[in-house]
Amino acid sequence: MGDYRISIEHLIDLIESKNKVEHNLIKSDICPKDRQNYASCRRISSELVLQLLKEQADYKGTYIYLSLLRSVIIGLIEKSTTVEERLYHIWSVVFTCRFWWTWLQHSKLKINYDDNNDEIIDNIKANSFITKPTFWCIEINAHTLLYIVLLVIKRKLPVNALNTYLFNSQTCENTFRIARALSGPYSSITNFTVKSFTKKCEKISIINSIKSRGGQIGEYNFKFPQHHKVEKEAHDYSINPIQHLNLTESDIEKIIQSAFESAKQNIEIVNITTVLKNKHKYSISELSQYIKTNISKSDEDDLQDDENDSPMSNDKDQISANSTDGEEEEQEEDAIASNLSDVEKKSFHGCRIYDRINPQQ
């Protein structure tokens, strides 16, 4: 990124040269094989790590990269983030990635053994940026969040739609983990049907409602066990959902503009502003138009590649097979819909709480 490298070696150096109290990292946090470890993502992008990276002059690229990861977590996943902060953080990531990608397209890379090999240059540029699905994912999530906020302002969606932290995959995965844990100590069955899963979700809903009230129901006080290694923030059930929104479209424009200025500060740290200014890609309108043009061009190229790769000789067989599969899927969907027609929240009357339980049951 710019004049600086983004490298895992910088984090390894922190682990080896600093005390664990200063960064709270372990070697398994930076293992590249485990790319779905969300807890490690939180630790490597924590304020402690970012501050240590910021103090090192040669680690600015890694600092900006992990700062983007931190902003994504704050903007999309953390529960305590306000709507204004969500918009600011996620759009600062969007503009920073746009600047970064635009700079790569206009930068001149020199290869020692073959300066005219365009394929090698394209591969180097692709490896010098985040993956394309990640880039599109950030763009889609940012635009979706902005669209939801605008719909809430225009009263076309309820305010509850702004609880976007419920949309992420971490919440869904946690729900499945809790559902498997509800099987009981005397059962080794971890798989269940859709019907049994909906019943387990009803129990989970009751448990979460008790936790949201601090475990207090009338004169009774429930205490839930908590592992000592689990952060308090992960079990902070006192966070109230959003009840109202005091934002206007003018306020949103100011937040987006502030996020754009924050992105400018990020790219100044890694020295990529000069190329963008010379190529007239430094203003928000110029940058957005350039990204829009390239996205449209990329979609057309991908569509042409798909059309060229598709075999024409097997079209009839594919159509007949797809029609048969479609009929079978419709029959299965009808059967599932009929079986789940009675599954509604109003059909749930509560849960039974006992003072004593017969162990033989």
Query: What is the average per-residue pLDDT within 138-161?
Result: 89
- Above 80 in pLDDT, residue 184? no
d(CA 275, CA 283): 13
Query: What pLDDT does residue 317 have?
Result: 44
Q: Residue 22 is encoded by which pair of tokens?
A: 């200063």
Q: How confident is the model at residue 308 (pLDDT cuts 50, 70, 90)?
A: low
What pLDDT is attached to residue 346?
A: 44
In tens, the pLDDT along 2-35 reads 788 888 888 888 888 888 878 888 887 887 676 6
Please write the tens of the pLDDT for every residue from 62-102.
999 999 999 999 998 888 888 899 999 999 999 999 999 99
State the first-to-last Cα distance of the chain, in angstroms, to the nearest integer: 62
Helix (H), strand (E), coil (C) string for 104-138: HHHCCCCCCCCCCCHHHHHHHHHHCCCCHHHHHHH
**pLDDT, average across residues 158-169:** 78
Q: How far apart are CA 200 and CA 357, in angstroms?
A: 19
Q: Is residue 165 within 8 Å of 78, Cβ to Cβ?
A: yes
User: What's the mean pLDDT in 40-59?
Assistant: 87
* Nearest by Cα to 144 from 216, 75, 233: 75
Model pTM greater than 0.75?
A: no
* Confidence band for 255, pLDDT divided at 50, 70 and 90: very high
As a whole number of angstroms, the distance between CA 235 and CA 175 comes to: 14
Q: Distance between CA atoms of 85 and 210, rounded to whole angstroms?
A: 29
Q: What is the pLDDT of residues 321-338, one digit of tens each?
A: 444 444 444 444 443 333
Measured from the Cβ of residue 130, the count of other Cβ atoms closer than 10 Å reads 16
Segment 202-220, tens digit of pLDDT = 888 777 776 655 555 566 6
- CA torsion angle for 122, 125, 131, 135 (degrees, to 10)? -110
| Percent of the chain at pLDDT exceeding 90 | 15
23 neighbors 48 (Cβ within 8 angstroms): yes
In angstroms, rounded to a whole number, what is the distance separating the alpha carbons of residues 194 and 83?
34
Could you tell me the pLDDT band of residue 275, with boundaries at 50, 70 and 90?
confident
**pLDDT in the model for residue 234:** 46
The tokens for 158 are 């309820």
